[in-house]
Structure 1
Amino acid sequence: MSLCKRLIARLDVKGNKLIKGIRFEGLRVLGDPVEAAYQYAHEGIDEMLFIDAVASLYGRNSLTEILRQTTREVFVPITAGGGVRSVEDAAKLLASGADKIALNTESLKRPELITELAREFGSQCVVASIQARQVKPLTWEAMGEAGRERSGKNVLTWMQEVQERGAGEILLTSIDQDGTCQGPDHELINKAAADLSIPLVVCGGFSTHSEISQTFQQNLVSGIAIGAAFHKKKIGIATCKNKLKSEKIRIRTHKSETSTNDKPLMRCNIAVVDYGMGNQQSLINALQYLGSKVLLSDQWDELKKYDLIMLPGVGSFPEGIKKLQERNLIMPLIDWANRGKPIIGICLGMQMLFERGEEFEITEGLGLLRGTVKKLNPSSHEVIGTLPLPHMGWNRLNIENSSKAESTEFDQYFVHSYAAKGIDQSVILHSSNYGSEQIVASIQYKNVVGFQFHPERSGENGLTLLTTTILELLN
């Protein structure tokens, strides 16, 4: 089974205003980006892209408060970018609720930043934003400073370099088509998709369903980011998705947001382990939205007072274990689980529950679950060779244990290149297929639960699954 194609809302921001221009010029204020994000989430958008359009000019990013407000009630993946110059800049955006980091200008000046971020947070967290301007037929130059500065780098050559340096996804924007609503640059898209091994998201000029459908026929295009056409109501998200489904294009089914939230976790006290790895704020926001009292801490004397411990994370296995060791949390977490206390790991947090991981180097895990975390190696009949990695996007959960798992199959959001293998089938709740690879998606062994996907970023279905799991563990 292939991943769902992703419709992504692009929100360009200046200060606290939603803006949009044409070819990155003539920026006009359109409204409040948080209100727009809420509306797109309600309509069923699969992902959001926030870009601080002037950050690289002023040397700072102003998205942190916008992200904090948005992620209180928006539970789909969010990529944030603009003015990212260091690991510290990226960490601030992740701590504010972003799931992935987009970088452009600084990476053109200092390409090693891509590797630094990938090593710290994992390749799946790093999006190489490439702004392409056509300089002659079938030749495009990568531009910096919001399309103002020439880099001298050929776009296709630069794409190869960023994926070699560790980027997990490419966001390719046609400057020539941006904001025009006159159709995408299909020549650029086809050239870009010809020789990639990481997911490709394209942007610029989309304004009709037929343009989206045609572009999604390109197997290696995993997502389309749209700004002006969404803002101007030229494309309706729900209508577009229904048309794509009728054409047998895999797209996420949206479960309508409920108008009321009855706070099902109101009596739950949940501790989230803060070990400096990724987007724990996304999980905190989801738990608080569901009514839970939440503690974020790296102090065991505080963590152990709560009813359930959650170990989230975005990043590499060895770096995650290293940071747990630095905080003296390894043995307390093992002892907690061995005493029958409930613990849930998400993404990297799930992976570290296993005996060992093979990312970069062989690293011992917590050993609470049997198995080894190894790199995925999917292939597909749809394309020649392997499918793009990371495994990034919405994919269907297959029920492996009907006595423990939800009876309804639905899509959840994955973003990873490694997965647990060599596991006792009896403890697997869900699996997911990516080409030839069957991925262990969720697992439960007594009081220990792991989600390879991100339920906190998977809309209403994900929140429902998270709620059910927590209540069962605490009862």
Structure 2
Amino acid sequence: MIVIIDYGMGNLKSVRNALNFLGLDNKISSDEEDIKNAKALILPGVGAFPDAMDTIEKLSLDKIIKEEVRKGKPLLGICLGMQLLFEKSFEGIKRNGLGLLKGNIVKMTDDKENNIKVPHIGWNSLIYNKNDELISSIDEGNFVYYVHSYFAQGYNDEDLVTYSEYGENKIPGIVRCKNIMGAQFHPEKSGTVGLSILKNFGELIK
């Protein structure tokens, strides 16, 4: 069972629809027992980092997530959910994240003369930094779908699996440190490539 963590700021149904399509047993929940009994967790997210962390801490989900990750449970953050895995964000205000990965979340730079606009919305290709089970059987250069204005910097390079280039911005696409994983793009909206990534995530818990 994969639990999609519900804290009121995620694209829950689209993630669940993708998992259902793949035949991966899943449940949307914020219940502590459900999270503890899950074989893996997905932390989705759409919106502002400070609001998301405020809600997560109010529901004490931060403590539960960290406890389960310490046990070795696979965790996949998606979009804002990936950003929440890092130490700090500077989206509007300086705000601590979950601190599961080294790095900070900062705003992208734009270059309107070269049509590099923020937010970064649309399809972009993946460049591989290293091999990983999450990208097994997926060719480098495939396109995935992004919607974001902020991205991770100051991360451990060994945590970087794939990235995309957008003007001067090197956007971490997939990050992973052992059982802690993140995708800045939306795999559930990235066609067959995204579904393959979610399928590979599901394979980790078999």
TM-score by length of 2: 0.94
2: CA distance, partners of 1:310 / 1:394: 22
The alignment status of 1:393 with 2:125, answered yes or no, reads no
The aligned counterpart of 1:314 is 46
1: CA distance, partners of 2:175 / 2:102: 11
The aligned counterpart of 2:68 is 336
Kept after mapping to 2: 8 A contact 1:272/1:310? yes
TM-superposition CA deviations, 1:176-213 (whole Å, max 9, x none):
xxxxxxxxxxxxxxxxxxxxxxxxxxxxxxxxxxxxxx
Kept after mapping to 2: 8 A contact 1:377/1:386? no
Structure 1 residue corresponding to 2:181, chosen from 449, 455, 464: 449
Larger radius of gyration between Structure 1 and Structure 2: 1
The alignment status of 1:416 with 2:145, answered yes or no, reads no
The alignment status of 1:402 with 2:134, answered yes or no, reads no
Pairing 1:249-268 to 2, within 5 Å after superposition: none
2: CA distance, partners of 1:445 / 1:424: 9
Q: Secondary structure at the match of 2:196?
A: helix
TM-score by length of 1: 0.42
The alignment status of 1:464 with 2:196, answered yes or no, reads yes
**Residue identity in the other structure for 1:391:** H
TM-superposition CA deviations, 1:248-272 (whole Å, max 9, x none):
xxxxxxxxxxxxxxxxxxxxx1101
1: CA distance, partners of 2:97 / 2:155: 15
1: CA distance, partners of 2:194 / 2:114: 32
The aligned counterpart of 2:19 is 287
TM-superposition CA deviations, 1:344-395 (whole Å, max 9, x none):
100000000111111111111111100001101143xxx5277211100000
Q: Secondary structure at the match of 1:474?
A: coil
| Inter-CA distance 400–300: structure 2 relative to 1 (3 Å threshold) | same
TM-superposition CA deviations, 1:147-178 (whole Å, max 9, x none):
xxxxxxxxxxxxxxxxxxxxxxxxxxxxxxxx
Kept after mapping to 2: 8 A contact 1:273/1:310? yes
2: CA distance, partners of 1:370 / 1:439: 15
2: CA distance, partners of 1:294 / 1:411: 26
Q: Secondary structure at the match of 2:18?
A: helix
* Unaligned residue ranges in structure 2 (runs of 5+): none
Structure 1 stretches of 4+ with a deviation exceeding 4 A read: none
Kept after mapping to 2: 8 A contact 1:442/1:451? yes
2: CA distance, partners of 1:367 / 1:437: 23
1: CA distance, partners of 2:181 / 2:109: 25
The aligned counterpart of 2:90 is 358
| Inter-CA distance 403–348: structure 2 relative to 1 (3 Å threshold) | closer
Deviates more, 1:321-330 or 1:399-408: 399-408
1: CA distance, partners of 2:179 / 2:87: 17
2: CA distance, partners of 1:357 / 1:351: 8
Kept after mapping to 2: 8 A contact 1:357/1:365? yes
The aligned counterpart of 2:158 is 426
* Unaligned residue ranges in structure 1 (runs of 5+): 1-268
The aligned counterpart of 2:167 is 435
| Inter-CA distance 352–403: structure 2 relative to 1 (3 Å threshold) | closer
1: CA distance, partners of 2:62 / 2:10: 18
2: CA distance, partners of 1:378 / 1:436: 8
2: CA distance, partners of 1:305 / 1:403: 26
The aligned counterpart of 1:372 is 104
Kept after mapping to 2: 8 A contact 1:295/1:303? no
The aligned counterpart of 2:205 is 474
Q: Secondary structure at the match of 2:146?
A: strand
Kept after mapping to 1: 8 A contact 2:24/2:202? no
Kept after mapping to 1: 8 A contact 2:43/2:77? yes
**Residue identity in the other structure for 1:456:** E
Computed over aligned residues only, the root mean square deviation of the Cα atoms, in angstroms, reads 1.5
Identity over aligned pairs, percent = 37
Query: What is the number of equivalent residue pairs in this alignment?
Result: 203
Structure with higher RCO (Cα < 8 A, 6+ apart): 2
2: CA distance, partners of 1:368 / 1:313: 16
1: CA distance, partners of 2:87 / 2:20: 31
